[in-house]
Structure 1
Amino acid sequence: MVSLLIFSLLATPHIIGSVLASDSPLNAANSSSIEWGPCDPSVITNPTLTCSFFQIPLDYHDSSVGHARLALAKVNATGDRLGTVFFNPGGPGVSGLDFLNTLSEFFTSVTGGLYDVVSWDPRGVGSLTTPGEIFCFDSPDEYNTFWNGTIELTGIEMTGNFSDPDDVQALLAQAPIMQEKYDELARRCLRHPSGKFFRYLGTAATARDIVALADALDGPGSPVNFIGASYGSVLGMWLINMFPERVGRVIIDGIIDPTLLATGETPAIWAFHELADADKAYEGFLTGCALAGPQGCPIASAEGQTAADIDATIQALLKQAHDAARRSVFVPVTSEIIREGLLSVLESPTQAADFVNMTWPMLVAGVQAESGSDSLTARREMRSARRRARRDGINQQNQTPSYSAQVMLCGDSVDLRGTRVSEVFEIIIAASRNTSEMFSVAWPAQFYTCPFWPVRAVERYQGPFNKTLANKVMVISNTHTSVSEPSQCLNEVMRAYFVNGTLPEDNRTLCEVDTDFDIFPGVNTEAILTAMSASGDDV
């Protein structure tokens, strides 16, 4: 559970980063003007936004390859304009248009109203940018038929931390099947009409797109201002080190270690690093539920239950779902679906009340339901609903899973090293026993699939990380991205930075989550942390 927001501001104009083949001039085609007008109402419903398109080269080092087109949205400055701030919400594969549509007032506030705030659907995202969403299948039925009988549809079943040898053997038995499937998937994806774009969807290309946009909107050579969260922090680090002389006011939030991405394979990064605090956050959820009691958190069956009691209830449901799935593949709710739901709450604590009051009863009913021919359909619908809630690249018209996240994440990954699916499964088992018992088993997960993805981006940023920047940047470090829980202190620090370039004294400050923000009714982050400290948990 997120509790405090820590701001770390670099004391010198040095930050991690360098550049790999990145100093060549931008393509002259990017100097075209951008004309703003009405937005597509099927995508943007916020009347304060205007929209446009921007043409960029697919490959900044080879103009013969052709061009791409970015879909842009903008909220205008309300005061004396100082320039443009570009925002990327993360993913990779998440729509910037969606986020700006929802959060325009927030960005106007934290930038002091002195900047136009622009976001966009990056290459490989949405239906308006070209190339847009990446697909390897043309329908849900085609996808489901391809993966039928595999953990791609059912998830990984296990109890405890793979304490049952049968769970270990069941997972390892899937390795040759999944290896064959991923090899076939690679061929299928490359044959699909989307396949010709895979080489041009990397983070380095997106960083160049931002600079090209800054040239067009604020003038050639202008300072580049940027906010990036989660994966957007990686994009921000690529940006400031590929173009250190262009760094204006930059905030990166929810930091992912760039050295790991530059030098290591993604399965171990996800399993041993990105999930390092996941179980601790889960303990915070349990503690909050216990404090709320059955009136505020129905997972608690009686007053006075402890976090351990609530965990026991969740573990019992996981075991019941696990055992049902072992007996029949036709069950509406698997243990994987329950873990997915819990993980989504940890990623977005504002959804905790909805989860315990609405989703949890559905999960319980699904586990207790009789299996039947329609159960697999129900399960797919539940997984699709959860994916839509997380905006992880599902086609909104027909629910065909997108592969945009894989293309971008794996395109930036290290060269193929011959890693096998069986080795990834061994990583998952080890991580379950040493890092996150609850969440390392999530499957499918893009981080786990990069060793089998066939294409790497035509340009990758790989360090070393030692660039000197034109201006200091702000680093927001937290268990999640800062918007997971509100903090007026955070907003004021961000606003001072954008308006005046002001940094906290001693280049570091600590901001608490707003005390009026409740995870559960009457239970805020401070109460959860106090209870965890009293119980001896290291928070």
Structure 2
Amino acid sequence: MKLSPFVLSSALFSALQSAHGIVIDERDCDEGGTNTSTIQWGPCDPSVVTDSSDFSCGFLEIPIDYHNSSMGKGRIAVIKANATNERRGTYFMNPGGPGGSGLEALSSSPTASYLLNVTGGFYDIVSWDPRGIGSLSIPGDVFCFDSVDEYDAFFNGTIEFSGIEMTGNFTDQSDIDALLAQAGTMQQKYVELGKRCQQHSDGKYLKYIGTSATVRDLLALADALDGPGAPVNYFGYSYGTILGSWLVNMFPNRVGRIILDGVIDPQLFGSVELSLGWQHQLHNADDVYAGLVTGCALAGPAGCAIASEGQSPADVNNDIQTVLGLAHDAARKNSSAPLTSGQLRTALYPYMYQPAQWANLTNSVFPEVFQIVEGESQGTSNVTKRAQLFDRSVVRRAENDTKVYTTSAILCGDSKDRSGNVTMTDIFDEIISASRNISHMFASQWPSPVYICSLWPERAVERYEGPFNKTLANPILVIGNTYDPVTPFSGAQALADELGNSAKLVRMNGFGHTSTAAVGASTCINSVLLAYTVNGTLPEDNNTVCEVDDSFEIWPGVSTNMILGNMTSSGLL
């Protein structure tokens, strides 16, 4: 979609970009325009879409900068699953991240079939690798190192690899002193990292991969596939809810039927420096962990290998804490210990997203972890096995097999302007405070992409900073889980409140990240989605609560409702 005919002098435009980096004029949002690019569909790249028989792929040309044509053109890689019923249009899907590949997400079973089912088969389901993501879009993934060896050498001997060592709720002064002693080193490293990213081959694109530009790309996709000015139908998950929140408020007249699931409050996102404010996203993380140990205790040793007969949830938790303590003590005695408590917490956290993986965690992963840590405490360890279990949380992609910084680049590029006063000591102090007051288990995980933001050198040339209470052409559906480890239900509630009559709120009474954490196993949620996508019907009020079907068993014989009914006696809340 091209910008409406509104011209600024280049000098004034540059000055505004430098000072604020925000949406230049609200008319740009409300009016929009038409992108005349088209998509030629064909086979999908097998290096990205492994099972491509049910999908078509193509590219859409985009301007690198919607406000400055001299920056030239880029492209976004697009994937489509065809409607199975009489086609009414397109439903777009963003899987979150930021950094998640839409091509990979849509082609991963059972995503496409699920979305086709809850839209009645009446829509093509389309996703894409947004600018800054993947190996096929241009600009693509953000790299700052040419090889993983270069990355390893750069961060060798720092908490980037070992994680943050702590026990309990981070009150041991020796742990605090050890972390704060790393502040100067990590600040220097992250400042240098930002420079490396700027100087890398694609560094020139860092300021052009923000969410506002991606909103405009999404409208260009809708123009190309459903006609100029067509209403946009959209599923946004996790970070995709920020994309969706900006979409509906930047272009309220383009809103079709939009579902935002696993919501980050856009007001909070834009009003704090993420390095100091992100910890509030962990508000329910320990509740999810409490659900895990409660379910394990209910399953008993027959279903959950780390449980013993008759153990309570508190007993299971104590066993896990003991292992974390042993790993902590081993790392304190030997800095080259192959598995630290910091690495364990960081590796454990993603399992909070997916209750469907809890049985695998407790029956396969944890028993091996326990053996490794026990070996460390006795002066022996299996380094090879440790490496197979956890790989420093390094995300690698593309042919050069190195670290990807896409998530940091987008989050930091979109975030509040740097105050210039935030130091790594301030960030560490916030982590210590959050470990005491928000999440004992997960506030200390390191590394995390948001902690770079106060030192990140770039901001997007265009950022939307509100308002977030526009009156929309059509009301949208907002969904949140009771216990979500990274997008607490309060975010969904806040967005629904901000939008007023333009949104309806539904709560799924379960665990994990977004309603898809139950793998579509909520008949209630599925019915709400189907009624909305097919008929435009929304719940009458914001008090709708959907349960997870009892047929969705996390361990044999243990359902979500069973865990919820026993959590109050867990001793962990």
Counterpart in the other structure of 2:405: 403
Which of 526, 535, 538 in structure 2 is aligned with 1:500? 535
2:130 matched to 1:132? Answer: no
Q: Which residue of 2 aligns with 1:456?
A: 459
C-alpha change, 1:160 and 1:175, in structure 2 (3 Å) is: same
Distance apart, 1:275 and its partner CA:
0.3
Question: Which residue is equivalent to 2:246?
Answer: 238
Out of 12, 36, 41, the position equivalent to 1:31 is 36
Cα gap change, 1:422 to 1:380, in 2 (>3 Å): farther
**Is the Cα–Cα contact under 8 Å of residues 23 and 242 in structure 1 kept in the other structure?**
no
Displacement of 1:536: 7.6
**Distance in 1 separating the partners of 2:328 and 2:136:** 41
Residue aligned with 1:132, SS: coil
Q: Distance in 1 between matches of 2:25 and 2:407?
A: 24
Q: Structure 1: which amino acid aligns with 2:564?
A: L
After superposition, the Cα gap between the structure-2 partners of 1:375 and 1:206, relative to the gap in structure 1 and judged at 3 Å, is farther
Candidates 306, 310, 329, aligned match of 1:299: 306
Q: Are 1:266 and 2:271 an aligned pair?
A: no
Conserved? CA contact 2:327–2:376, under 8 Å: no
Task: Verify: 1:443 aligned to 2:446, yes or no.
Answer: yes
Aligned partners of 1:270 and 1:379: how far apart in 2?
30
Distance verdict in 2 for CA 1:313–1:99, change over 3 Å: same
Q: Which gives a bigger RCO, structure 1 or 2 (Cα 8 Å, sep 6+)?
A: 1
The equivalent of 2:15 in structure 1 is none
Are 2:249 and 2:467, in contact at CA under 8 Å, matched by a contact in 1?
Answer: no
Structure 2: how far apart are the matches of 1:252 and 1:279?
Answer: 24
1:401 corresponds to which letter in structure 2? K
- CA–CA distance in structure 1, aligned partners of residues 32 and 275 of structure 2: 34
Distance of 1:37 and 1:186 partners within structure 2 = 38
Cα drift, residue 375 of structure 1: 7.0
Go from structure 1 to structure 2 and tell me whether the alpha carbon gap of 1:528 and 1:184 turns closer, same or farther (over 3 Å shift): same
> Aligned match of 1:524 in 552, 559, 564?
559
Give the 3 Å change call, closer, same or farther, for CA 87–385 of structure 1 in structure 2. Answer: farther
Query: Relative to structure 1, is the Cα distance of residues 355 and 276 closer, same or farther in structure 2, using a 3 angstrom cutoff?
Result: same
CA distance in 1 between counterparts of 2:387 and 2:177 reads: 25
Q: Percent identity, please.
A: 53
- Are residues 1:66 and 2:101 paired? no
Q: Is the 8 A contact 2:246 2:464 kept in 1?
A: yes
Amino acid at match of 1:412: D
Q: Secondary structure at the match of 2:41?
A: coil
Equivalent pair of 1:124/1:130 in contact (CA under 8 Å) = yes
Distance in 2 (CA, whole Å) between partners of 1:375 and 1:329 is 16
CA gap of 1:42–1:420, structure 2 versus 1, over 3 A, is: same
- 1:220 alignment partner in structure 2: 228
For residues 31-55 of structure 1, what are the alpha-carbon distances to aligned partners after superposition, in whole Å with 9 as ceiling and x for unaligned? Answer: 1221211111222114111110111
**Residues of 2 paired with 1:154 and 1:259: CA distance?**
34
Q: What whole-Å deviation, never above 9, does each CA across 1:124-175 have from its counterpart, x for those lacking one?
A: 1111111111110111110010001110111101111112100000000000
Aligned partner of 1:41 in structure 2 is 46
- Is contact 1:416-1:451 (8 Å) kept? yes
Q: CA deviation at 1:376?
A: 7.0
Greater alpha carbon shift after TM alignment, 393-402 vs 497-506: 393-402
Whole-angstrom distance in 1 between the partners of 2:363 and 2:392: 16
Q: Is the 8 A contact 1:202 1:457 kept in 2?
A: yes
**Residues 48 and 103 of structure 2 are in contact (CA less than 8 Å); yes or no, is this contact kept in structure 1?**
yes
Rounded to whole Å, the distance in 2 between the matches of 1:240 and 1:253 is 14
Judged with a 3 Å threshold, the aligned counterparts in structure 2 of structure 1 residues 21 and 325 are, in CA distance, closer, same or farther, namely: farther
Q: TM-score, normalised by structure 1?
A: 0.91
Structure 1 residues 337-375: Cα deviation after superposition (integer angstroms, max 9, x where no partner): 221333122111111111112111221122233599997
Residue pair 1:70, 1:129 contacting (<8 A) in 2 also: yes
Q: Does 1:286 align with 2:290?
A: no
Q: Which amino acid aligns with 2:211?
A: T
Whether 1:339 aligns to 2:341 is no
Matched-pair contact (CA < 8 Å) for 1:19–1:241:
no
Structure 2 Cα separation of the partners of residues 214 and 203 of structure 1: 17
Quote the Cα distance in structure 2 between the aligned partners of 1:507 and 1:122: 32
Note if contact 2:231-2:254 (Cα within 8 Å) is conserved in structure 1: yes
Give 3-state SS (helix, strand or coil) of 1:531's partner. helix
Residues 199 and 456, structure 1, Cα contact 8 Å, conserved in 2 = yes
RMSD: 2.1
Aligned equivalents of 1:451 and 1:535: distance in 2? 38
Q: Alpha carbons of 1:427 and 1:96: their partners in 2 closer, same or farther (altered >3 Å)?
A: same
Assess, with a 3 A threshold, how the Cα gap between structure 1 residues 293 and 398 changes in structure 2: closer, same or farther.
Answer: farther
Which one of the candidate residues 503, 515, 518 is aligned to 1:482? 515
Task: Give the secondary-structure state (helix, strand or coil) at the position aligned to 2:128.
Answer: strand
Aligned residues of 1:26 and 1:212 also touching (Cα < 8 A)? no
C-alpha contact (below 8 Å) 2:43/2:52 kept by paired residues: no
What is the alpha-carbon distance in structure 1 between the residues aligned to residue 32 and residue 145 of structure 2?
35
Q: Assess, with a 3 A threshold, how the Cα gap between structure 1 residues 19 and 495 changes in structure 2: closer, same or farther.
A: farther
Change (3 A) 1:253 1:412: same
Post-superposition CA distance 1:279-305 (Å, at most 9, x none): 1111111100000111211111x2110
Q: Output the amino acid matched with 1:431.
A: A
Asked whether 1:359 is paired with 2:362, we answer no
Q: CA separation in 2, counterparts of 1:437 and 1:412?
A: 28
What are the superposed Cα offsets for residues 204-233 of structure 1, whole Å, 9 maximum, x if unpaired?
Answer: 111100001101111111101111011111
Give the drift of 1:23. Answer: 3.5
SS of the aligned residue for 1:23 comes to helix
Report the Cα distance in structure 2 between the residues aligned to 1:385 and 1:492, rounded to whole angstroms.
Answer: 40
Give the TM-score normalised by the residue count of structure 2: 0.86
Q: What amino acid is aligned across from residue 444 of structure 2 in structure 1?
A: V
Judged with a 3 Å threshold, the aligned counterparts in structure 2 of structure 1 residues 283 and 483 are, in CA distance, closer, same or farther, namely: same
Contact 2:373 2:381 in 1 (8 A): no
Measure how far apart 1:379 and its partner are: 5.3
1:468 shift after superposition: 1.1
**Contact 1:332 / 1:378 at 8 angstroms: preserved in 2?**
no
Corresponding pairs, count: 513
The answer to whether the aligner puts 1:211 opposite 2:219 as a matched pair is yes
The farther-off stretch of 206-215 and 340-349 is 340-349
Do the aligned partners of 1:254 and 1:482 also contact (CA within 8 Å) in 2?
Answer: yes
Superposition deviation, residue 327 in structure 1? 1.5
Moved more, 276-285 or 335-344: 335-344
- Answer whether contact 1:345 1:355 (CA < 8 A) is retained: yes
Structure 1 residue 179: deviation in Å? 1.0
Quote how far apart the aligned CAs of 1:278 are. 0.7
State yes or no: 1:108 paired with 2:145.
Answer: no
**CA deviation map 1:31-83 (0-9, x unaligned):** 12212111112221141111101110111000110111111000111112111
1:249 paired with 2:257, answer yes
Runs of 5+ consecutive residues of structure 2 not aligned to the other structure:
1-21, 485-512
Distance 2:380 2:137 in 1: 39
Question: For residue 159 of structure 2, what is the amino acid of its counterpart?
Answer: I
Q: Distance in 2 between matches of 1:360 and 1:303?
A: 17
Corresponding residue to 2:472 among 463, 469, 474? 469
CA distance in 2, matches of 1:239, 1:397: 33
Kept in 1: contact 2:232–2:254 (CA 8 A): yes
**2:261 touches 2:479 (CA, 8 Å); kept in 1?**
yes
Q: Deviations over 1:473-515 (max 9, x none)?
A: 0000112301001212111110110110011233542110011
Q: What letter corresponds to residue 275 of structure 2 in structure 1? A: P
Equivalent position of 1:414 in the other structure: 416
